[in-house]
Amino acid sequence: MADRVAIVTGASAGIGEAAGVALVKAGWKVVFAARRGDQLDRIVAGCGKDQALAVVANVSRPESVQNLFAKTLEKFGRLDLLFNNAGMGAPPVPMDELPYEKWKEVVDVNLNGMFLCAQAAYRQFKRQHPQGGRIINNGSISAHAPRPFSVAYTSTKHAITGLTRCIALDGRAHDICGSQIDIGNAATPMTERMLKGMPQAHGGTLVEPRMDVQHVADAVVYMAGLPKESNVLNITVMATKMPFVGRG
């Protein structure tokens, strides 16, 4: 395990932080990337500087992604895993009221950002020896079914399914695995608003159950640890009683 190297984006909080720390505990060298350097420094200090590196990065900026991968190679020499996790939502408003700027911001992070990071990882996996690696994209239950008033988030998360499958198909020739984790209601800063009530399809609101984010981190460690001959193409990890499976 000593020489397996991962980049986790969106690692300053929530799922990215939990998954990054869990990977370190499982023996991975982990690069924690996000925009808030103070948060990253705090997390990396708890992991040890031989095991972890903090890199301030904005995934929606090509030059920032380039810098993230350059810093990773400089410190650890290769890359085995990208957990493509950084993401954001938009305020829940009817689509006719969503400002175009907000739409573009969500697309820039959730889709363009994940593409830029996946492309940089794919390039590195192809060129290194031994060749190959794994990209785990963070989709969502919203990659399958929308919440009311979520056109930007839902559109980007559906698109991530296409990105995952293209990686899984094109990557075969180079020992590159493409995986997707679709999460429902993990307790993170992003889902705090669920405690107050979420808009539902029937027009009302519902306080929704959440689950411990550690269950997501454990799933990521399992997916990451598979040999390159095996791949979890899709996994759904969700709060058991959240409204999804029963059409509400």
The nearer residue to ligand NAP, 85 or 124, going by C-beta atoms, is 85
Give me the residues that bind ligand NAP (CB under 6 A), please.
9-16, 34-36, 39, 57-60, 85-88, 109, 113, 138, 140, 183-186, 188-191
Three-state secondary structure call for residue 174: helix
What is the nearest approach in angstroms of ligand NAP to the Cβ of residue 127?
24
CB atoms within 10 A of CB 13: 17
Q: What's the rounded Cα separation, in Å, for the pair 162 and 178?
A: 11
The nearer residue to ligand NAP, 131 or 206, going by C-beta atoms, is 206
Q: How far is CA 6 from CA 38, 53, 117, 133, 147, in A?
A: 20, 10, 12, 10, 32
What is the nearest approach in angstroms of ligand NAP to the Cβ of residue 72?
15
The nearer residue to ligand NAP, 124 or 137, going by C-beta atoms, is 137
> Which stretches of the chain are DSSP H helices?
14-25, 37-47, 62-76, 100-107, 114-127, 151-170, 214-225
What is the nearest approach in angstroms of ligand NAP to the Cβ of residue 167?
16
Catalytic residue status for 153: yes
200, 243 contact by CB (below 8 A): yes
- Tell me whether residue 181 is exposed, middle or buried, using C-beta atoms within 10 angstroms of its C-beta: 0 to 12, 13 to 18, 19 or more: buried
What is the nearest approach in angstroms of ligand NAP to the Cβ of residue 246?
18
Question: Which active-site residues does the annotation give?
Answer: 153
